Amino acid sequence: EAQVTQNPRYLITVTGKKLTVTCSQNMNHEYMSWYRQDPGLGLRQIYYSMNVEVTDKGDVPEGYKVSRKEKRNFPLILESPSPNQTSLYFCASKPGHPRLAGGFGELFFGEGSRLTVL
């Protein structure tokens, strides 16, 4: 089954304790992205990756890191989480056409990871 898998789905942690949210897709997609969703603010992009070893900042990258060592995986790292990073996080992927403007392809989302930082 084609899917994007995120783990953990739910996490409560404390300020400053490093954590990683994993994301894996089995559709051989070039493009992957992380979003956070907060009430009244909608989906905001944190980081995205057009392909292996190619990552770029989205709208709200502060406090986050990512890596794209393999095509299927795109982990989100919070080195020192703070309470303002309490949010619902979504990973997504789609076929990428880096040389074409347009962003073709349906964006497939993981089920989300609800993170609470105390």
Partner 1 sequence: RKEVEQDPGPFNVPEGATVAFNCTYSNSASQSFFWYRQDCRKEPKLLMSVYSSGNEDGRFTAQLNRASQYISLLIRDSKLSDSATYLCVVNSPGGSQGNLIFGKGTKLSVKP
Q: In angstroms, rounded to a whole number, what is the distance separating the alpha carbons of residues 77 and 59?
A: 16
Tokens of 109: 């989302």
**Single residue of 5, 52, 63, 112 touching partner 1 by CB under 8 A:** 112
Question: Strands 31-38, 87-94: parallel, antiparallel or unpaired by DSSP?
Answer: antiparallel
Q: Which of 74, 14, 64 is nearest to 44 (CA)?
A: 64
Least separation in angstroms between residue 99's CB and partner 1 is: 8
Distances (CA, A) of 97 to 4, 68, 110: 19, 17, 21
Residues in contact with partner 1, shown as a per-residue x/- string from 88 to 107 under the rule CB under 8 A: x-x-----xxxxxxxxx-xx
Least separation in angstroms between residue 42's CB and partner 1 is: 3
Number of residues that bind partner 1 (CB under 8 A): 29
Q: Which is nearer to partner 1, 18 or 57 (CB)?
A: 57
Least separation in angstroms between residue 19's CB and partner 1 is: 20
Long-range contacts (CB closer than 8 Å, 24 or more residues apart) made by 39-44: 43/90
Footprint (CB under 8 A) of partner 1, residues 11-40: 31, 33, 35, 40
Instruction: List residues binding partner 1 (CB under 8 A).
Output: 31, 33, 35, 40-43, 45, 48, 50, 56, 58, 88, 90, 96-104, 106-107, 109-112
